[in-house]
Amino acid sequence: MIGIISFFVLIVWICLAGWLTAVINKRITKRLPPGSELRPLIGIALFPLVLMLPVIDEAIGMWQFKRLCQENATVYIAPDAKGRTVYSAGMQDVAVPYTWILPIRMQRWRYVDATTGEIIVSYNQLYASPGWIFRTFFRGFAREPLLFKGFYQPPNILMGKTMFKELGINYIEPPKPKNGGSQ
């Protein structure tokens, strides 16, 4: 089923690229003298460029995503973490600035000491969306990029209670807010 949908999306994009090429070609070549031999050559050169736009924007976004993955490859663990009791201070989901071609979100995970509130463990996860061309013309077909896996977390990180057990940290559920939910 995915193959049929992918084939349909590919056919639609080829037709759309042909139409966009014709529109762009008409605007460019109207400045040329009638009968100019450049008119068909411009269209022939434009079509592959327009056809490759979804790949080009994702290639640029892939470079940005890989750079962000390198910057967020570490997990912070406090030197005196062993034996401490922590709870999740929540996750902060933020849009990474200057990633408009391929939007990237960062989820910041923080675990704090139950008595002092000091950050004991923290790390970031990254999520990338498809490129702007694919999002514009094929909204709803894909949730991550076509060229690479759009999820990253630091390598060798254990998730959940296993992570804390391995580190010798006691994990508890976050405290409930006082006064009926308002602080």
Is residue 80, in this structure, part of any structural domain at all? yes
Number of neighbours of residue 50 by Cβ within 10 angstroms:
20
The domain tally of the chain equals 1
Is residue 94, in this structure, part of any structural domain at all? yes
Is residue 139, in this structure, part of any structural domain at all? yes
pLDDT given at position 109: 92
Is residue 101, in this structure, part of any structural domain at all? yes
pLDDT given at position 147: 82
In angstroms, the CA 28 to CA 39 distance is 9
Cα separation values, 92 from 17, 89, 123, Å? 39, 9, 11
In this structure, what token pair is assigned to residue 65? 């995503």
For the stretch 43-83, pLDDT in tens is 888 999 888 887 888 888 899 999 999 999 888 999 999 99
pLDDT given at position 69: 93
pLDDT given at position 68: 93
Domain extent, residue 150, equals: 52-181
pLDDT given at position 156: 67
pLDDT given at position 121: 92
Contact 63, 50 (CB under 8 A): no
Is residue 106, in this structure, part of any structural domain at all? yes
- Would the pTM of this model clear 0.75, i.e. be above it? no
pLDDT given at position 100: 74
Residue 175 Cα to chain centre, angstroms? 32
In angstroms, the CA 24 to CA 22 distance is 6
pLDDT given at position 2: 62
Is residue 39, in this structure, part of any structural domain at all? no
- Residue pLDDT tens, the chain, 183 long: 667 877 887 888 899 889 988 898 888 888 888 777 887 888 888 999 888 887 888 888 899 999 999 999 888 999 999 999 999 998 899 999 988 778 899 999 999 999 999 999 999 999 998 887 777 766 666 677 878 899 999 886 666 667 788 888 988 888 877 765 554
Beta strands in the chain (DSSP E): 76-77, 85-95, 104-113, 119-128, 151-152, 170-171
Phi, psi torsion values for 150, nearest 5 degrees: -90, 30
pLDDT given at position 104: 92
In angstroms, the CA 149 to CA 127 distance is 9
